[in-house]
Amino acid sequence: MSDKGRVRYEANPDAYFVKAYGATLIAVVAYPEHFWFGIHIGDGKCVARDADDYFYQPIPWDDKCFLNITTSLCDEKPLENFRHCFHTDHFPSAIFVGSDGVDDCFANDADLYDFYQEVFLTFQKEELKEARAEMDDFLPKMSEKGSGDDISVSRIINNV
């Protein structure tokens, strides 16, 4: 049982128990020079990089996500917990979406941003096939030495 499920059950054991686990969703859509938006429920992070190499999180963080207790697609009313951003300007040079297994490998956001800078540079310097192979090799090692959790990373790089 998840920590969130346990807390709910202990608070009201007579209530109907719906789920033991949750699901995070982070999605970003970019139509360069027109608009871009992101939606997010659960943990993990969406990180953007602007043209000046400044990293930030465009989708507001959910304070209900703490340790292993997170909002989820599996919640009773998930739409109430979605966060989002929408922009018709401020187009990032890159957007990264990573699972909480990625976040948990780093002590703070600055270290996480350094990781995404390295990912950005890898995909800028190398051919796509080689960059993907490097990530496929590196991510399991990062998990093993860091969070021990599953790791997923996706990126959009704006070459316009």
Q: Quote the distance between the C-alpha of residue 70 and its chain's center.
A: 13
In terms of residue numbers, what domain contains 153? 3-157
Beta strands in the chain (DSSP E): 25-31, 35-41, 45-49, 55-56, 83-87, 94-98, 153-157
Write out pLDDT tens, residues 70-92: 888 888 889 999 999 999 988 89
Please tell me which residue, 68 or 117, carries the higher pLDDT value: 117
Question: What pTM did the predictor assign?
Answer: 0.81
Number of domains into which the chain is organized:
1
103 vs 105: CA distance, rounded Å: 5
8 has pLDDT over 90: no
The model's confidence at residue 46, banded by pLDDT at 50, 70 and 90, is very high
Count CB-CB contacts under 10 A for residue 17.
11
Q: Which residue has the higher pLDDT, 1 or 30?
A: 30
Residue 20 in this model has a pLDDT that exceeds 80: no
Model confidence over 22-32: pLDDT tens digits?
A: 788 999 998 88
Residue 10 — pLDDT band, cuts 50, 70, 90? confident
Q: For residue 63, what is the domain's CATH number?
A: 3.60.40.10
